[in-house]
Amino acid sequence: MGNSRGSRSRVLSSIAFVAIMGLGSLAAWAQNSNDGVVVLNGGGRALFLKPPTYSTLPSVALPPGVVTIYSNLGTGDQTYNPIAGVGILGPNAGQPWPEEVGSTFIPTADHLVQAVRVGATYVQGTNGIVVSLNEDDNGIPGKQLAAGRFMNLPVFGSCFTLQTGKGRRGVPVKANTQYWVVLKPVAKDTFAVWNDNYQEIQGHWANNIGFGWDGSYQVLGAFGVYGK
């Protein structure tokens, strides 16, 4: 499962979720409103070096009656880390490699997934991401269970509007079984960021920079999974 970044390597087809709403090479990204963005490891990490801005746009409400299946999201000004995350990159995003990223969760009981929330933001290019829910395949993302697009993300360095995807029928998940939430660029020129969870909770994580999935254990992207 190796790739050319080596040790740096660090939801949804059965239903559609509708989106409603290490230090390597260092390059500063200072372009128009993106001043303050610093890119590390060929886009693999992004940092915002100015004070974050606060959005007044509320997150889309979760479906009524759902329970939390998994969440590393906080509340208030600790919802997610607004100034650090991993790049979600298309091949024409101006970085050496494209990148899609997955973070894991393990339900403690059988559930029906009806909503997913992610802390994701935008740097440049086409403003959007694809979020999918995937099975596990020996420690890396496997079969896609459902997917949807999230468009018009808030700018990287702003907080704390969550992107909320909902599915009417839901996706069944089993207790004590590992699943993945995966973020991909929506277009070839997309440069988005999956913000880190605020508490720096670590877990099984994987990325794909064009040579297949590479798994590791590190800080997870900010997300929550909800259902019945």
44: pLDDT confidence band, cut at 50, 70 and 90? confident
88-110: per-residue pLDDT in tens? 999 999 999 999 999 999 999 99
The pLDDT of 13-40, averaged and rounded, is: 46
What is d(CA 155, CA 199) in angstroms, rounded to the nearest whole number? 21
User: Which is more confidently placed, 58 or 138?
Assistant: 138
29: pLDDT confidence band, cut at 50, 70 and 90? very low
Q: What are residue 217's phi and psi, to 5 degrees? A: -130, 115
Please check the confidence at residue 7 and state whether its pLDDT lies above 60. no
122-148: per-residue pLDDT in tens? 999 999 999 999 999 999 999 999 999
End-to-end CA distance of the chain: 35
Lowest mean pLDDT among 7-11, 179-183, 198-202: 7-11
Q: Under a CB-based contact definition with an 8 Å cutoff, are residues 172 and 160 in contact? A: no
Q: Where are the beta strands (DSSP E) in 49-201?
A: 53-54, 67-71, 84-89, 100-105, 111-118, 120-124, 128-137, 140-151, 158-159, 163-173, 179-185, 191-195
Mean pLDDT score across all residues of the chain: 86
The pLDDT of 45-52, averaged and rounded, is: 88
52: pLDDT confidence band, cut at 50, 70 and 90? confident
Residue 56: the pLDDT is 66
Residue 217: the pLDDT is 96
Q: What is the bridge-based pairing of β-strands 26-29 and 37-40?
A: antiparallel
151-179: per-residue pLDDT in tens? 999 999 998 899 999 988 899 999 999 99
178-190: per-residue pLDDT in tens? 999 999 999 999 9
